[in-house]
Amino acid sequence: MSAWGATILDATGHRLTPDEKTFFAEADPFGFILFARNIDTPDQVRALCDEMRSAVGRNVPITIDQEGGRVQRLRAPTWREWLPPLALVMRTGPGAAEALYLQYRIIATELHALGIDSNCAPLVDVAGSATHEFLHDRCYGTEPGIVALLGRAVADGLLDGGVLPVLKHIPGHGRAQADSHLDLPVVEAQMEALVACDFAPFRALNDLPMGMTAHLVYAAIDPRPATTSPVMMQLIRDEIGFDGLIMTDDITMKALTGTLPEIARASLDAGCDVVLCCNASLEDRRAVADAAGHLTGHGQRRAEAALAVRKMPDEVDIPALEATLAAMIAGPGHV
């Protein structure tokens, strides 16, 4: 079997265009990602997922950002609206791990029913007083041990529902005081503080199948953004001990500079396995796929190992889980 393309790509609309079908068949990306523009009805989403898999001729993974709060692509009235993760944690207090498990187990049911078998969560960036607002309410807390515990609950909820989790943003985005969609954040903390706090939840969850990089500079370690830094990528493998498939965060974000093919190649040369390219023209997607080429031997091994973790959902009573979660959110006396 030849190696798959070292990319995760997206589509422009509700169905694939003829040109996209041809391109995807040629590029053979490792996976796909969906956005709000790709979502209309359940039948439409299922048909789009089927088209994506047909284009590459295999059961390719399809991921999405369905965290809750501001970051969720499936929305009411067709799908459930969810509290932001930090709001759920605050509401449920000592029961936060159970609440997050329930929320993400239900989310997994929604995703799996559509043919979506991955979710870009858990997010185990450790929040602080200066964490940028684009990230803050997506975090699970301020203590690395608690964040790791809650991140494990999220991952378990997804896995039990047949959905692969994507651990993000390795090796830790919580100290960023800028939005990496718009600027390159620079973190000045020293290595000792980073190891004790920011990196710790990722080390605790280093057995998860897939992870997504952070587009920010850790000035005490390397002047290059982590996504394109061989030093940081080696730290993720060695210090954090993560041997899962590593995808970049979206390379079209403004934190990274250069042409998209240049960024794609720099990310892979640094040690990422696959490049996530979103919201780009077909011409740009072609250029990125050409620059990325195919997975390396190690990358193909990690990709196959990640997909081997996929399983059929366990059988649960979703209305009962919803009732339990609602009672937990409502507070004492309602459970």
Alpha carbons 310 and 297: distance in angstroms, whole number: 21
**DSSP assignment string, 194-224:** IIIIISHHHHHTTTSSEEEE---EETTTBSS
Alpha carbons 264 and 256: distance in angstroms, whole number: 10
Alpha carbons 147 and 156: distance in angstroms, whole number: 14
Query: Which residues, at least 6 apart from 137, have a Cβ–Cβ distance to it below 8 Å?
Result: 69, 70, 84, 85, 86, 87
Instruction: Tell me whether residue 249 is one of the annotated catalytic residues.
Output: yes
The identity of residue 38, as a single letter, is N
Query: Which residues, at least 6 apart from 169, have a Cβ–Cβ distance to it below 8 Å?
Result: 123, 125, 212, 213, 214, 215, 249
Instruction: Tell me whether residue 294 is one of the annotated catalytic residues.
Output: no
Please name the helix (run of DSSP H) or strand (run of DSSP E) that holds residue 110, with its range, or none: helix 96-114
Name the nearest CA neighbour of 249 among 177, 306, 166, 187: 166
Phi and psi at residue 170, to the nearest 5°: -65, 135
Catalytically annotated residue among 19, 50, 181, 207 = 181
Q: Are 101 and 157 in contact (CB under 8 A)?
A: yes
The identity of residue 51, as a single letter, is E
Catalytically annotated residue among 10, 65, 198, 249 = 249
Distance of CA 244 to the CA centre of its chain: 13
**3-state SS, residue 119:** strand
- DSSP annotation of 70 reads T
Residues with active-site annotation: 181, 249
